[in-house]
Amino acid sequence: MNPRAGTPEILIAGNPNSGKSTLFNALSGGSARVGNYPGVTVDRTTATVRLSARQVALVDVPGMYSLTANSPEEQLAVDALVASETRAVVCVVDATTLQRGLYLALQLRESGVPVVVALNMMDAAERMGLRIDTDHLSESFGAPVVPVVATKRQGLDALLNAVEGQLGLTSPVDAPSVSYPAALEADLSELVPLVEQWRPGASSQQTRAVALWSLLSLDEDSLRGVPDSLRIAVQELRSAAIAQGRNPDLEIIATRYAWIEEQVSRASSNPDPKPSVSERIDNVLTHPVFGLVVFAIVMFLIFEALFTWAEPAIGFIEGLTAALQGQVAGSLPDGVLQDLIVEGIIAGVGNVIVFAPQILLLFLFIGFLEDSGYLARVAFVIDRVMKGVGLHGKAFVPLLSGFACAIPAVMATRTIERRRDRLVTMLALPLMSCSARLPVYILVVGTVFAGATLWWFSAGAVALFAMYTLSVVVTLTAAAVIRRTILPGPAPTFMLEMPPYRWPSAQILWINAWRRLRIFLVDAGTIILAMTVLLWALLSFPKSDEIAVRYSQERATVAQMDLHPDEAARLVAALNAREASEQLEQSVAGRFGHALEPVLRPIGFDWQIGVGIIGAFAAREVFISTLGVVFGIGETDQENKPLRQALREARHSDGTPVMTPLSGVSLMVFFLLACQCMSTIAVVRRESGAWKWPAFLFAYMTVLAYTGSFLVYQGGRLFGFE
Amino acid sequence: MAGNSKRFANEKEIHYQLVMKPSLADLALGQAAEIVSIDCDRSISRRLMEMGLIPGTEVRVVRVAPLGDPIELRVRDYALSVRRAEAARIAVVPARAA
């Protein structure tokens, strides 16, 4: 029965916000491994735990309110529960919302699987004055009920003992006897033979549970692997029932809840109810005025953290990368190998870990908001706005984070429950003007708008403001359009539990943030590293011997001249920069830039900008250092005067200047709209689970960028701008 | 308005239930009501029911978002927020004044 005898799988299931993951982490001590369910991007977190007599594998199942499934993602939980490896399920129930939690526990018991109910948050229940007779619940559900406080690690030993007890059972405990209406029982008996064909060998209890599940889940679903005969039978039974004025869904669910209400009323009492603290906190946090103020402050803090707090760490990583590059360059002989290691591999690793500070910070923040219960209030407060463009209220934090960096922002979309809503958000948010675009804006503004004014503002400030405004408008429009075209479907509904406020555990916040970072480093990191090496190769090869020989002769000439050492060094540096520029021009990327020129001219760019755009795929700010090489200036940044000068002096073949205010705006619009960021591609690949989504993202943003720049440049010319 | 229905005499209240069909979206802040029926798309109705909103269940509107939508309900000892669009399809009988 169990292919991996000795390590039976114990599933940890429960409602969202029931403290399921906290319990999982408390039991596993943070030793968990995160994998992926095949085909979909739902994390499968497992950990090995030693009981007194054997080892078991704990599996953290995605949070759910019921076993009813509508999508392949929801089906995962169901699949896991009926898998032969599953030997027992720990159903985590929040003791303060007993009925809803027990609904899931009842469904699990009906399917015949051994269940241990972990009655979590008993401390909160006691504070509310609630008394629960666990023995009665245990008897009626046919499952041990163990009170626990996961955050304080109370009751864990008793829980594991109960699990071990279930593993030692020789014969299954009978499922609770819930009696459905006679008409529904008749429907079930028609489905039973079909289920028996689908799942031969299942016990009669399991068969009955699958028949119930089918009646409740099938029809208008996108579930996999369900036989057509069963589907058709369910459809017919449902239509027949509806024609008679019956509602099978209601019959099943209402019968279950009636049974639960009866058990709960016998097993629990609250002689002296106390008002909850959450109510009072919410009176402030979702207040029409204070609510919005608190909301703005919290969002500003996230923003500030991503922009400012992360900066020293990012600078440190960049400095370390540069130092390591210098060290290695000094200790390896010049040549392709040195370049590959310095410009390809070390730069690539640097490109990956440079995101670590923002990812850690954002996930610590989101973890805090989520575990404290405020994230649900964020969605509650802002949903009205997000609804207008077909997004879920929970899309707000990822979108806002997009102003800092799309990488952590895309990863943050996993707080959105439905995959479709998650994809729409993920595909629109790279249009938010991230911080890596700013150096490009500053370079362009400094080059073409230096000292210019528009009315009583500086022209540069107006241009920057316009870029950020445009970015918000385009992002929301793109979300609305993608929702209506590529990913049509029912508008996202907003059914969100507002969990009670709780103080999060620092340890769990850290474990989760670290887990997210590790997934990024491994999964997206390898793609980013590979693309960095590829880009390096495109910008470096083929190398021209002719150019190399000519410049080494010139350097030899300089060495023979009788010059002051500083003067000689300056000349050699200038020669090196010019050599790099010439080599770049005839590399694959340089040739590609030239080949692109006919396409780039209508939007106001030339081949040099084209090469810069290719280089910028590594990261947008690399545009500047690539231009530095193209123009033979060497090391440079956005404040660099020689680069601005070189850009101003650059001429098209017909003698007209390349960088004008109009082509500058066109360039900014291009950078705003284009997906010039391989790390975004890599992280969307990781989070969407398929290459087709990053491919679509890149394609639509490139088309959008070209169209935008074309309209700006050609439109501007029509109105007589230069 | 729906919020005043609890003061209506029985006859008028029956008329009100049949003709006005009050929904969760019509309830005043803080008002309790009993669910009569849920008429959303099947998957949404099912989800609402599985979260404990069943004909006969008592609900109360405890909060309205600062921008007017969604609304927060108290049902079966927990808080659930739903948009007005969904709430409008959940028919209720407002509770009489205690």
Which chain B residues are Cβ-neighbours of A278 within 8 angstroms?
79
Instruction: With beta carbons less than 8 A apart as the criterion, state whether B21 and B5 touch.
Output: no
Give the pLDDT confidence of A283-301 residue by residue, as tens digits. 788 787 888 888 888 888 8
Q: How confident is the model at residue A34 (pLDDT cuts 50, 70, 90)?
A: low
- Best mean pLDDT range from A34-38, A75-79, A547-551: A547-551
Q: Which residue has the higher pLDDT, A75 or A496?
A: A496
- Mean pLDDT estimate for chain A: 85
pLDDT digits (tens, 9 = 90+) for A164-220: 999 888 777 888 888 999 999 999 999 999 999 988 888 888 889 889 989 998 876
Amino acid code (one letter) for A645: Q
B12 inside 8 A of chain A by CB = no
What mean pLDDT is predicted for residues A661-690?
A: 91
Contact B54 A286 (CB under 8 A): no
Top mean-pLDDT range of A78-92, A135-149, A501-515: A135-149
Q: Is A38's pLDDT higher than 60?
A: no
Asked if B46 lies within 8 A of A96 by C-beta distance, the reply is no
Reported ipTM: 0.84
Least CB-CB distance to B46: which of A249, A288, A387? A249
What is A54-100 written as a DSSP string?
-EEEEEEPPP-S-S--SSHHHHHHHHHHHSTTEEEEEEEEEGGGHHH
Scanning every residue of chain B, which has its alpha carbon at the shortest distance from the alpha carbon of A501?
B79
Give the three-state DSSP class for A204. helix
- Nearest chain A CA: its distance from B9 CA (Å): 31
Residues of A in contact with B66 (CB under 8 A): 286-289, 291-292, 381
Lowest mean pLDDT among A105-109, A229-233, A437-441: A437-441
* Distance to chain B for A513, nearest Cα, Å: 27
The mean-pLDDT minimum among A228-242, A596-610, A628-642 falls in A628-642
Return the residue of B nearest to A260 by Cα.
B52
Residue-wise pLDDT tens digits, B22-61: 899 999 888 999 999 999 888 889 999 999 999 999 999 9
CA dihedral A262, A268, A272, A277 (to 10 degrees): -100
Residue A631 has pLDDT above 50, yes or no: yes
- pLDDT classification of A574: cutoffs 50, 70, 90: confident
Say if the Cβ atoms of B79 and A497 lie within 8 Å. yes
Rounded percentage of chain B residues whose pLDDT exceeds 90: 49
- Give Cα A291 distance to the centre of its chain: 27
CB contact under 8 A, A100 and B76: yes
Of A75-84, A454-463, A523-532, A688-697, which range is least confident?
Answer: A75-84
- In sequence order, what are the beta bridge partners of B90? B38
C-alpha–C-alpha distance, residues B83 and B90, integer Å: 11
Instruction: Answer yes or no: do B51 and A65 touch at CB < 8 A.
Output: yes
Percentage of residues of chain A with pLDDT beyond 70: 93
Backbone angles phi, psi at A250, to 5 degrees: -60, -40
Within 8 A of A499 by CB-CB distance, chain B residues are 79
CB distance from A201 to chain B under 8 Å? no
**CA nearest to B82, candidates B97, A219, B49, B55:** B49
Strand pairing of A9-14 and A55-60?
parallel
Q: Token pair of A116, please?
A: 């241990």
Which tokens sit at A523? 């999964």
CA A106 to chain B, closest CA, distance in angstroms equals 12
| B50/A219 touch (CB, cutoff 8 Å), yes or no | no
**Nearest-CA distance B6 → chain A (Å):** 25
Domain B2-94 fold: SH3 type barrels. (2.30.30)
What is the pLDDT, as a whole number, of residue A229?
92
Domains present along chain A, CATH in parentheses: 9-167 (3.40.50.300), 182-269 (1.10.287), 290-436+453-488 (no CATH)
Mean pLDDT across the stretch A334-338?
A: 83
pLDDT bin (cut points 50, 70, 90) of residue B12 is low
DSSP character for A523?
Answer: I
pLDDT at B98 over 50: no
Whether B88 has its CB under 8 Å from any CB of chain A: the answer is no
Q: What is the pLDDT of residue A6?
A: 58
User: Can you read off the two tokens belonging to residue A44?
Assistant: 């499968």
Shortest CA gap A249–chain B (Å): 7
Q: What is the pLDDT of residue A252?
A: 96
Contacting residues for A486 by C-beta, under 8 A, at least 6 apart: A427, A696
pLDDT over 80 (residue A242): yes
Percent of chain A whose pLDDT exceeds 90: 28
Using CB atoms, which residue from A282, A387, A490 is nearest to B41?
Answer: A490
Instruction: Tell whether B82 lies on the interface with A, counting CB pairs under 8 A.
Output: yes
Cα A456 to Cα A554: distance, rounded to the nearest angstrom: 51
Question: Could you tell me the two tokens for A190?
Answer: 């028609």
A532: left (phi over 0), alpha (psi -120 to 50) or beta: alpha
